[in-house]
């Protein structure tokens, strides 16, 4: 029997046609929509008077531009005019094309990549796209998921298909047991550190090995989420009993006889034992330390016990990027990361704002107070349902007693498109996925890390090794 990788199986089952020039037409089972990347697509369809081909295959939710305070005010409560218009336009567009929308005041609202899996809109074996690069997140459920551009959003709305090229396959194997305080975030940051931000360009990454098998679906989402930060278009984890337990009873999951049929099919969503990958990378997860980025790209990452690099160790022509990053970050060559004073803490984003992330933070900050050095520490749940769950479990009280601000769901300070921003020069311990210049606000300095490490930084007021807490 031919041996196929998971990616190849998902691909073959969705190809509608092969096109001249090496592209294929791929059937798209699920399309998720947010307010930032969709307006032109809707406008163009309106101009051409084209309807949505399958409105019910879509789901829209505003997340990027939404405020994380005063949410009871709904859309009129959005202070920024542009943001208000974006959210309003999403509502209007969905009404016009009869596309289901989870609106701002709906309890299920949240970051599109948190909402999809939570609602069972993301299912094993399907193809899923969204006009957002972190759509790779959904691959944690053995879903072929990819970020697309605005013109492709239009194409998917109109035809329920995507023109795309087949990716190469990269298997990233993690062996060994993670140390206490070391998480999926550290695994993926270490991977990006080794591969570089363009290291997996043109590939779909499948995460495998016993470390990955031991991870929860939420942690697998953290891995898949940041695949794009290594240049990969998609991330995948094979279907197993962990996946099955996660999907069961989700609102969009099949039930009754359909559940049995579906799971019988889903159990085949694994790479065959002798399937050939185009490339393989192996990591010793047991030797991993908590990771922290020091620079302005996710690949500029070191273990927390490490230090910033020294550009002088590179040939003269190659120093520019490091020098610029160090200058922007206000750091010097060879400076240790541990002990670096932090101004703000952001715990949130589609990488790390699910309930398990919040439980981990709560377990560390319970009964403690934020360091007086910290100007502000915010915790932004990935969805309204995560927020509700955290409140039920008493986590929100723990956060507030410790001095954190407890907010409503959205992308928040992951990117400066809403009210939550860094001021110039401020240094932030952040659980998000991008540390580009100005990403969290003009002149802001971002250090990416796990929720556990961000919690440790909040208590210590400086970057600190969570293993010592």
Provide the sign of the torsion angle of the four alpha carbons 51, 56, 62, 64, taken in this order.
negative
Q: Please state the closest distance from residue 347 (CB atom) to ligand SF4, in A.
A: 12
Angle at 215 between CA 214 and CA 220, to 5 degrees: 145
Which member of 127, 133, 137, 143 binds ligand IPM (CB under 6 A)?
133
Q: 111 touches which of ligand SF4, ligand IPM, none (CB within 5 to 8 A by kind)?
A: ligand SF4
- Do 433 and 405 touch, CB atoms closer than 8 A? no
Q: Please state the closest distance from residue 132 (CB atom) to ligand IPM, in A.
A: 4
SS3 for 163? strand
Nearer to ligand SF4, 183 or 432 (CB): 432
Is 445 buried (19+), middle (13-18) or exposed (0-12) by CB count in 10 A?
A: buried
Please list every residue from 290 through 319 that binds ligand IPM, using CB under 6 A. none
Please list every residue from 134 through 173 that binds ligand IPM, using CB under 6 A. 134, 147
- Range list of β-strands (E), 324-375: 344-347
How many angstroms separate the Cα of 175 from the Cα of each of 178, 226, 284, 352, 417? Answer: 9, 19, 5, 22, 38
- Do 263 and 241 touch, CB atoms closer than 8 A? no
Q: 349 touches which of ligand IPM, ligand SF4, none (CB within 5 to 8 A by kind)?
A: ligand SF4
Q: How far is CA 18 from the centre of its chain?
A: 31
Q: How far apart are CA 199 and CA 435, in angstroms?
A: 18
Nearer to ligand SF4, 325 or 411 (CB): 411
Indicate whether 64 belongs to the interface with ligand IPM (CB under 6 A).
yes
Q: 136 touches which of ligand IPM, ligand SF4, none (CB within 5 to 8 A by kind)?
A: none
DSSP letter at 138 equals G
Q: 446 touches which of ligand IPM, ligand SF4, none (CB within 5 to 8 A by kind)?
A: none
Please list every residue from 403 through 442 that binds ligand IPM, using CB under 6 A. 415
Q: How far apart are CA 320 and CA 343, in angstroms?
A: 27
Q: 36 touches which of ligand IPM, ligand SF4, none (CB within 5 to 8 A by kind)?
A: ligand IPM
CA dihedral 74, 80, 81, 87 (to 10 degrees): -40
Polymer length of the chain: 469
Which residue minimizes CB distance to ligand IPM?
133
Q: Please state the closest distance from residue 440 (CB atom) to ligand SF4, in A.
A: 10
- C-alpha distance across the termini of the chain, in Å: 52
Which member of 10, 26, 33, 36 binds ligand IPM (CB under 6 A)?
36
Q: How far is CA 17 from the centre of its chain?
A: 31
Nearer to ligand SF4, 236 or 353 (CB): 353
CB < 8 Å & 24+ apart, contacts of 16-21: 16/161, 19/163
Give the interface segment with ligand IPM, choosing from 132-140, 202-210, 284-292, 401-409 (CB under 6 A).
Answer: 132-140
Q: 183 touches which of ligand IPM, ligand SF4, none (CB within 5 to 8 A by kind)?
A: none
Indicate whether 387 belongs to the interface with ligand IPM (CB under 6 A).
no
**Shortest CA distance to 80 belongs to which of 410, 424, 447?**
410
Return left, alpha or beta for 196; rule: phi > 0 is left, psi -120 to 50 is alpha, else beta: left
224 in a known ligand binding site: no
Indicate whether 132 belongs to the interface with ligand IPM (CB under 6 A).
yes
Q: 418 touches which of ligand IPM, ligand SF4, none (CB within 5 to 8 A by kind)?
A: none
- Do 439 and 452 touch, CB atoms closer than 8 A? no
Q: 222 touches which of ligand SF4, ligand IPM, none (CB within 5 to 8 A by kind)?
A: none
Q: How far apart are CA 426 and CA 35, in angstroms?
A: 28
Residues 6+ apart with CB under 8 A from 172: 191, 205, 206, 207, 208, 280, 281, 282, 283
Q: Please state the closest distance from residue 167 (CB atom) to ligand SF4, in A.
A: 21
Indicate whether 345 belongs to the interface with ligand IPM (CB under 6 A).
no
Angle at 170 between CA 244 and CA 448, to 5 degrees: 80
Q: What tokens were used for 92? A: 């209007």
Which residues here bind ligand SF4, judged by CB under 6 A? 63-64, 111, 113, 132, 134, 349-350, 411, 414-415, 432-433
414 in a known ligand binding site: yes
Number of residues in contact with ligand IPM, rule: CB under 6 A? Answer: 8
Q: Please state the closest distance from residue 102 (CB atom) to ligand IPM, in A.
A: 17
Q: Please state the closest distance from residue 349 (CB atom) to ligand SF4, in A.
A: 4
Give the interface segment with ligand IPM, choosing from 92-100, 115-123, 128-136, 383-391 (CB under 6 A).
Answer: 128-136
Q: 432 touches which of ligand IPM, ligand SF4, none (CB within 5 to 8 A by kind)?
A: ligand SF4
Nearer to ligand IPM, 411 or 429 (CB): 411
Nearer to ligand SF4, 86 or 464 (CB): 86
- Do 36 and 64 touch, CB atoms closer than 8 A? yes
From the annotation, which residues make up the binding site for [4Fe-4S] cluster? 350, 411, 414
Q: Which residues bind ligand IPM (CB under 6 A)?
A: 36-37, 64, 132-134, 147, 415
From the annotation, which residues make up the binding site? 350, 411, 414
């Amino acid at each position: 029997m031919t041996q196929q990788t998971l990616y190849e199986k998902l691909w073959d089952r969705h190809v509608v046609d092969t096109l001249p020039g090496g592209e294929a037409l791929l059937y798209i089972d699920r399309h998720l929509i947010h307010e930032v990347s969709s307006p032109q697509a809707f406008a163009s369809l309106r101009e051409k008077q084209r309807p949505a081909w399958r409105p019910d295959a879509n789901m829209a939710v505003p997340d990027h531009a939404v405020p994380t305070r005063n949410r009871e005010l709904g859309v009129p409560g959005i202070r920024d005019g542009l943001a208000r218009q974006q959210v309003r336009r999403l509502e209007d567009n969905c009404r016009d094309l009869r596309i289901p929308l989870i609106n701002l005041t709906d309890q299920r609202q949240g970051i599109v990549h948190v909402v999809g899996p939570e609602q069972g809109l993301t299912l094993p074996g399907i193809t899923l796209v969204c006009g957002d690069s972190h759509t790779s997140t959904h691959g944690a459920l053995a879903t072929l998921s990819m970020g697309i551009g605005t013109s492709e959003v239009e194409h998917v709305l109109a035809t329920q298909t995507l023109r795309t090229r087949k990716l190469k396959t990269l298997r990233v194997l993690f062996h060994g047991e993670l140390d206490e305080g070391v998480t999926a975030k550290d695994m993926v940051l270490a991977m990006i550190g080794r591969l570089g931000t363009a290291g997996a360009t043109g590939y779909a990454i499948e995460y495998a090995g016993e470390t990955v098998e031991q991870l929860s679906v939420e942690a697998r989402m953290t891995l898949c989420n940041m695949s794009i930060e290594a240049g990969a278009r998609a991330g995948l984890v094979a279907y197993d009993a962990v996946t099955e337990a996660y999907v069961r009873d989700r609102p969009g999951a099949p039930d009754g006889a359909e559940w049995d049929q579906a799971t019988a099919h889903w159990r085949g969503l694994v790479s065959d034992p002798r399937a050939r990958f185009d490339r393989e990378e192996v990591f010793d997860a047991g030797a991993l330390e908590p990771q922290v980025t020091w620079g302005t790209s996710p690949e500029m990452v070191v273990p927390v016990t490490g230090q910033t690099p020294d550009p002088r160790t590179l040939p003269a022509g190659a120093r520019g990027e490091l020098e610029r990053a160090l200058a922007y970050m206000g750091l010097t060559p060879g400076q240790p990361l541990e002990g670096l004073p932090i101004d703000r803490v952001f715990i949130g984003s589609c990488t790390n704002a699910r309930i398990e992330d919040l439980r981990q933070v709560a377990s560390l900050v319970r009964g403690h107070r934020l360091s007086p050095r910290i100007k502000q520490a915010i915790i932004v749940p990935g969805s309204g349902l995560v927020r509700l769950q955290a409140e039920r479990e008493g986590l929100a009280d723990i956060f507030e007693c410790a001095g954190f601000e407890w907010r409503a769901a959205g992308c928040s300070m992951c990117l400066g498109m809403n009210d939550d921003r860094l001021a110039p020069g401020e240094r932030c311990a952040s659980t998000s996925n991008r540390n580009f210049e100005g990403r969290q606000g003009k002149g802001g300095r971002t250090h990416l890390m796990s929720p556990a490490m961000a919690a440790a930084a909040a208590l210590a007021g400086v970057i600190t090794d969570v293993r010592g807490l």
